[in-house]
Structures are given as structure tokens and as C-alpha cells.
A and B are shown apart, each in its own frame.
Chain A
Amino acid sequence: MTYEQAASTIAERFSGVTVETGAPLIVSVPVDQWRAFAQFAKESLGCRFFNFLSAVDWKDGGLEVVAVVDNLDDNVSLRLKTRLAPSPAEAGHDEAPRCASLVPVFRGANWMERECYDMFGIVFEDHPDLRRILLGDDWQGHPLLKSYAVDTPHPPYR
């Protein structure tokens, strides 16, 4: 299964998806098809290896969730992207950005999504136990947002 075949099967099966051809196939997926596309990538494209899932804060452009899944046998790597609403810290509204969780598809997404929630504040729907993984549970704010200063004081230790 080469990159071209992957691109063609994606194009015919998913309409709203834009594909950038190249060594890693960069696929931007609309939010509502996020889990469906991941399921499709795992079954028909054979991308069973879950590499990582993370997020990028484009300030006003909104939060972007990035996931990389690979097909180890044919060395095909897929980089899935989806754009969410900007985070409340910047855009002023108080509703946290939501995204469908990939845990039902890839069990490896469990800790990765907890880290995205911890660092960006993205709420992943029907994630088994969405709580902070790296910082203490009493931590205010989501550090990796662009609006969070790098060394904000934290009494009593800083």
C-alpha cells in the first residue's frame, strides 16, 4: 500500500478531507469525522501503530489536534489534523474546545489525550478518565497555551 494508493482511497471514501501528498501524508479532517477517520485509517489503511497525539495553539486560529498513525509493514505514515475553536483563555468565551476521543479506536490515546487536556484544556468526549496527568490536580490554567507566561509564579515554591 503506497502513499498514492492511500491518498486515492482516502479521497474516494471521505469527502470533506483535504490531503497533502508527500512522504508523511498530511490529512486535515473536520472535527465531526475525527473518530470515523481514525477508525478508517486503522482498518482499511492498515495504520495500526498509534504514534502520538498532541495539539498546537494557533492563538486566534484555534487549537489544532495532531495525531500520527503509521502502517509499519508498508512504512506509510499518516499525520491527521483537525482544527478546533480557540481556547477560552484567548477568545474570551468560557466554553472549552471539544474533540472526539480516540480511546475507543487506539488504547494508546488514553494518556496522550489526558496530556492534551492537561496542557491545552481540550475536553475529549467519552474519554474513560479525563484528568490532569503531568501537573498536580490543583493546578490552575493550561501551560502550553500561548497566553500562559513561561515562568508564572506558583506559591509557595516559586
Chain B
Amino acid sequence: MTGYLPVAIYLAFIIAFAVVMLSVSRLLRPNRPVAEKTLSYECGAEPVGDAWVRFPVGFYLVALVFILFDALAVFLFPWALALRGLGVWALGTMFLFLAILSLGWVYAYREGILEWR
């Protein structure tokens, strides 16, 4: 059980750091929300139209592909650290895992999501 003490201390430190930083800056910075200040910044010009417009779907697909492979990377880190202890068996499993995910990559490539129309 004692193994988790450093993790708890580390967690407490993270939370404390965030809380202190935010509260001190809120305490010290002047807060004057004047009308023009909260106007959205359009390089100096009057904001024209609003930004809530239907985006082409291309942006959304690229974001999806990114999340897919970001999740993949999360698994790689602990695997790489513990590889020496686990031996060849772990190597095979991870490559199988990577092969399955590269199928997704090939599908995305063939569907033309990556070329920006």
C-alpha cells in the first residue's frame, strides 16, 4: 500500500500548484470588463458575422484520426518502460496491437481523409 504514497503526494502537489497559481493571479490582476474589451478580436475591425458556422467535415475527420492515434500512443509509453522485464512475449502482443490499429490508418488513407480537398 505504501507504494502509492509518492503518487498521492505528487497528485496533491499538482492540485495545490494549480489552485495557488489561479487564486494568486485572480487576486492580483485588476478586473475591469469594459464593453469594448470583451468584444471579440478581429484584427482591429468590427467583428463581422459570427463564428458559429457549419464547418466542412474535413476538420472533424482529421481530429478523429488524431484522437485515434493519440490513444494508441498512451499505451506505448508504459509498454516501452516495462519492456525489459516482460520479455519477447510483450513485444509480440504490442506488434499485434499496432497491426490492428494500422488497419484503421490504411482505411483512413484509402478514404482520402488525409488529402485536404
Determine direct contact between A and B, CB below 8 Å. no
B: which residues have CB within 8 A of A? Answer: none
